[in-house]
């Protein structure tokens, strides 16, 4: 009698190297079309992958979007500028790559607004990936200003850290205008520094 091989047959091992390509493609499509207009076909085409390849990794569009948003890169907190002044630090954060990255994140946020209200898990991921990284960086800059005696020790660092991200988000989502260097510096000089009790130099 022929002996039957009872060892399980393993399928082809999944190529995890494609995961990041698909996640990046999902973010690009999300920023361009919004969640409601986004399809798995669009993501597969942008990633140059088959639709089945995407579905082998993610069961649904919400799962894919959730993972893609969660994988957004954060601001590296160990490389923040330290110019000696709060204004200098805030202005030093405004660099072309940083502006482009922030603009992309804001467009992604605009793309998922329709889904956030229906999906608390995505709302939490969006806050963690799109708002918290810049707020965390700002907290460090404001705490330095407190430590230097540049702003009062009882300054509301939490709210101060959120002013910039909130203004940029409103401009993108509600006004549908770009967030450029001029806008960001005006916010620093006319809103953020006065709120912190610092008079900007002319």
Instruction: Delineate the domains of the chain, giving CATH numbers in brackets.
Output: 16-70 (1.10.10.60), 77-196 (1.10.357.10)
d(CA 130, CA 102): 9
Q: How many CB atoms lie within 10 A of CB 34?
A: 17
Confidence class of residue 39 from pLDDT cuts 50, 70 and 90? very high
Q: What's the mean pLDDT in 146-155?
A: 96
Confidence class of residue 46 from pLDDT cuts 50, 70 and 90? very high
Confidence class of residue 98 from pLDDT cuts 50, 70 and 90? confident
Q: What pLDDT sits at residue 172?
A: 83
Q: What's the mean pLDDT in 79-91?
A: 94
C-alpha separations of 97 from 1, 27, 105, 177 in Å: 69, 17, 12, 18
| pLDDT tens for each residue of 128-147 | 888 888 899 999 999 999 99
Q: What pLDDT sits at residue 175?
A: 87
d(CA 127, CA 132): 6
Q: What's the mean pLDDT in 34-59?
A: 93
Average pLDDT, the chain: 85
Q: What's the mean pLDDT in 153-163?
A: 96
Give the length of the chain.
202
| pLDDT tens for each residue of 166-177 | 998 888 888 888
d(CA 150, CA 168): 25
What percent of the chain shows pLDDT beyond 70? 89
Q: Record the pTM.
A: 0.76
Q: What pLDDT sits at residue 187?
A: 96
Confidence class of residue 17 from pLDDT cuts 50, 70 and 90? low
Q: Which structure tokens are listed for 105?
A: 């994140």
Q: Which structure tokens are listed for 147?
A: 């430590």
More confident residue, 93 or 119: 93
- Please, are residues 120 and 137 in contact by the beta-carbon 8 Å criterion? no
Q: How many Cα atoms occupy the beta-carbon half-sphere of 58 within 13 Å?
A: 22
């Amino acid at each position: 009698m022929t002996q039957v091989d009872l060892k399980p047959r393993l399928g082809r091992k999944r190529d995890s190297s494609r995961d990041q390509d698909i996640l990046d493609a999902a973010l690009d499509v999300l920023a361009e079309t919004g969640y409601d207009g986004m399809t798995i076909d669009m993501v597969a085409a942008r990633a140059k992958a088959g639709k089945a390849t995407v579905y082998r990794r993610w069961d649904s569009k919400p799962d894919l979007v959730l993972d893609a948003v969660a994988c957004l890169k954060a601001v590296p907190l160990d490389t923040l500028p330290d110019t000696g002044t709060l204004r200098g630090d805030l202005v030093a954060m405004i660099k072309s790559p940083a502006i482009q990255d922030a603009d992309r994140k804001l467009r992604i946020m605009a793309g998922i607004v329709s889904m956030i209200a229906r999906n608390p898990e995505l709302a939490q991921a969006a806050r963690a990936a799109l708002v918290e990284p810049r707020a965390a960086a700002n907290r460090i800059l404001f705490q330095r200003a407190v430590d230097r005696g540049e702003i009062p020790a009882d300054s509301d660092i939490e709210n101060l850290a959120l002013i910039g991200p909130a203004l940029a988000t409103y401009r993108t989502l509600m006004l549908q205008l770009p967030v450029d260097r001029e806008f960001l510096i005006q916010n620093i000089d006319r809103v953020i520094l006065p709120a912190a009790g610092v008079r900007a130099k002319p």
